[in-house]
Chains A and B, each alone.
Chain A
């Protein structure tokens, strides 16, 4: 069964450092999502891509977070500089796109970030 791949699975970084996460969606999925999940809460959408274009990044803290999906396949989420409050699970998901939706979102295993 095809899966969403994410790396690294765990990351510990000091505050003010830069950190990057990578996601490879299921082949053929045009839509890619990045979520942040703080312990004890539900996932919160940070950014949604349709192919290489950003559909929604209204909840992305743009002063420190950036996301790209240059070739419309895999994606990178970066935080610079990291803050203590950024400690969370960062989940990537993908889905089909087009008319006939909504389509199920498939999640990767996540990257657990700890900022010290």
Chain B
């Protein structure tokens, strides 16, 4: 079983739609959590950190459920520019060492 699992998609949604991605992680000792965005043939970039209390950044909302070892990302009012691969990332122990999920591909259509 992979340490961080995501549905690879693709998720095909129309502009303006709300879409949610889920991610599960296996190591209960994981300490911090992130969503990264990766455009086609580009490097990953940090989208947002995920806090236990949940956090929001504009149209993006991230949630963490430590008991179920589950992370989610909600995108409201999807834009064409949101088309990318979203990587769920877990810092599995102290030392800033990240484990990446396989990514979920989102395609927003006009």
A residues in contact (CB < 8 Å) with B: 31, 40-45, 48, 55-56, 91, 95, 97, 101-105, 107-110, 112
Q: Are B91 and A102 in contact (CB under 8 A)?
A: yes
B residues in contact (CB < 8 Å) with A: 4, 8, 31-32, 41-46, 87, 91, 95-103
**B32 CB contacts on chain A under 8 angstroms:** 102
Q: Are B8 and A40 in contact (CB under 8 A)?
A: yes
- Of all chain B residues, the one with the shortest Cβ separation from A55 is B95
**B103 CB contacts on chain A under 8 angstroms:** 41-42
**A45 CB contacts on chain B under 8 angstroms:** 97-99
Q: Give A91 to B103 CA distance when docked, in angstroms.
A: 16
**A97 CB contacts on chain B under 8 angstroms:** 96
Which 3 pairs of residues, A with B, have the shortest CB-CB distance? A42-B100, A107-B43, A102-B96
A-B CB contact pairs (8 Å), 30 listed: A31-B96, A40-B8, A40-B102, A41-B102, A41-B103, A42-B4, A42-B87, A42-B100, A42-B101, A42-B103, A43-B87, A43-B100, A44-B100, A45-B97, A48-B95, A48-B97, A55-B97, A91-B44, A95-B96, A97-B96, A102-B91, A102-B96, A104-B46, A105-B46, A105-B96, A107-B43, A107-B44, A108-B43, A109-B42, A112-B41
